[in-house]
Amino acid sequence: ANMGRTLVELFYDVISPYSWLAFEVLCRYRHIWNIDLRFRPAFLGGIMQQTGNKPPAMLPKRGEYMLKDMKRMAKYYQVPVRMSTDAFQHIMGTNSLTAMRFITAIDMTNPQYVEPLTREFWVWFWSQHEDISQQENILSVARQAGLSAELSQKTLEIISSPTVKDQLKKTTDEALKYGAFGMPAVVAHYDGEPHLFFGSDRLELLGSVMGEKWLGPVP
């Protein structure tokens, strides 16, 4: 990390729409604030399981609220999340493990593609409501993100390897160690200690802790 720059880690899973909001806003602030932004692909399923957390939609009233909230947030943050009425069935019926292993493998081998690849997974799942658990879809997402057919195929072949599995588990464990119980989990290493912020609506507070100015969601 550069001297004097604050390391900000974003722990995320593409199954989480709020993570997409945090991701885009932090990408926008990357060159405005004095930060080094590090993407940390992790597995939300593992975090929920380890902490005993339940998806918001398990509580019907909270689910209803979240549908409305997400529509407002998408507009405010200018991120093309499209919530369908069956958004929760969509989430509950999808396992993001393969996608997150794929992103992890790219992070380990070709990190320059992590940002466009991750964004493309969100677009695919949250804007176009496509399936992201099938391998052929993952290859399509990778191609959309600018990965060559060869690299995509090669990456697909290593996602079940112990190295990739262990790395995803390690990142997920790190998020838990910082106190994460859901996603997005943003960790700012400021003043010699890690500061955890949960959700996409605490970025103003994150700036304030680091002495940085908040200029709205689209600076």
What integer pLDDT is reported at residue 11 of this predicted model?
A: 98
Q: Does residue 1 form part of some domain? A: no
C-alpha 101, offset from chain centre: 13
pLDDT greater than 50 at residue 1: no
What integer pLDDT is reported at residue 113 of this predicted model?
A: 98
When the pLDDT of each residue in the chain is averaged and rounded to a whole number, the result is 95
Q: Does residue 150 form part of some domain? A: yes
Q: Does residue 218 form part of some domain? A: no
What integer pLDDT is reported at residue 88 of this predicted model?
A: 79
Its domain, for residue 130, covers 6-210
Domains contained in the chain, number: 1
Closest by Cα among 15, 182, 31 to 90? 15
Residue 43: count other Cβ atoms within 10 Å of its Cβ: 24
Q: Does residue 216 form part of some domain? A: no
Q: Does residue 92 form part of some domain? A: yes
Find where tokens 């969509």 sit.
90
Q: Does residue 111 form part of some domain? A: yes
| Global confidence as pTM | 0.95
> Which positions are annotated as active-site residues?
16
12 in Cβ contact with 2 (< 8 Å): no
Q: Does residue 130 form part of some domain? A: yes
pLDDT greater than 80 at residue 193: yes
Q: Does residue 215 form part of some domain? A: no
pLDDT in tens, 55-83: 877 788 988 898 999 999 999 999 999 98
For residue 47, give the CATH number of its domain. 3.40.30.10
pLDDT greater than 70 at residue 124: yes
pLDDT in tens, 158-186: 999 999 999 999 999 999 999 999 999 99
SS3 assignment for 126-181: HHCCCCCCCHHHHHHHHHHCCCCHHHHHHHHHHCCCHHHHHHHHHHHHHHHHCCCC
What integer pLDDT is reported at residue 63 of this predicted model?
A: 85
